[in-house]
């Protein structure tokens, strides 16, 4: 671990992501959607008719969590559930006209926020940043899909940490 976490790339990316979520939530609050709900709206806008399971997979969350989000969105008039024609056990999810309209108005909020955060960077710097983050994300996706096993030292270090934690308890 680095002695100065503020210069560690993993910390910087995680902290920047947290700040983006915080600022977005603050700016989008007046519309009546949380960031999580807006993400559902965005996914359904791009994938109308997705099932709850498909939505959960797209968002990389548990089916139960997706179900709670969908329930809230449906109660508030943002999403409709419609039975699947081929399989009555499945409901297909669609945005209401209201949600489609809000999606169009909330997207510029996100774009403006990112543009403001990147203020002072040239077009070339922005393109390079996008390229680097894309590479980083692609590498992480490859690692996640490979299901990389923990290395032996990491497993040993984790077991030592757990043992010390148990001693302190």
Of residues 9 and 162, more confidently modeled: 9
Domains in the chain, number: 1
For residue 94, list its beta bridge partners: 80
Looking up residue 79, the CATH number of its domain turns out to be 1.10.10.10
Q: Which residues contact 39 (CB under 8 A, 6 or more apart)?
A: 59
pLDDT of res. 25: 87
What number of other Cβ atoms are within 10 A of residue 66's Cβ? 24
pLDDT of res. 157: 57
Q: Are strands 91-95 and 79-83 parallel, antiparallel or unpaired?
A: antiparallel
User: Full-prediction pTM beyond 0.75?
Assistant: no
Residue-range definition of the domain harbouring residue 134:
5-168
pLDDT in tens, 73-120: 999 999 999 999 999 899 999 999 999 998 888 888 889 999 999 999
Alpha carbons 63 and 158: distance in angstroms, whole number: 30
pLDDT in tens, 123-146: 999 999 999 999 999 999 899 889
For residue 165, pLDDT over 60 is answered with: no
């Amino acid at each position: 671990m680095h002695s100065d976490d503020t210069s560690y790339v993993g910390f910087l990316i995680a902290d920047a992501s947290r700040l983006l979520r915080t600022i977005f939530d603050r700016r989008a609050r007046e519309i009546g959607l949380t960031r999580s709900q807006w993400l559902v709206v965005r996914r359904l806008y791009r994938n109308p008719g997705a099932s709850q399971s498909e939505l959960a997979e797209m968002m990389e969350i548990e089916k139960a969590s997706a179900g709670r989000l969908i329930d809230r969105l449906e109660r508030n008039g943002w999403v409709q559930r419609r039975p699947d024609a081929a399989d009555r056990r499945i409901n297909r999810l669609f945005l209401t006209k209201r949600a489609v309209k809000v999606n169009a108005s909330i997207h510029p909020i996100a774009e403006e926020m990112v543009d403001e955060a990147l203020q002072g960077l040239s077009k070339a710097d922005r393109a390079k940043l996008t390229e680097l983050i894309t590479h980083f994300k692609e590498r992480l996706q490859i690692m996640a899909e490979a299901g990389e096993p923990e290395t032996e030292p990491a497993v040993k270090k984790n077991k030592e940490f757990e043992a010390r934690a148990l001693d302190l308890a």
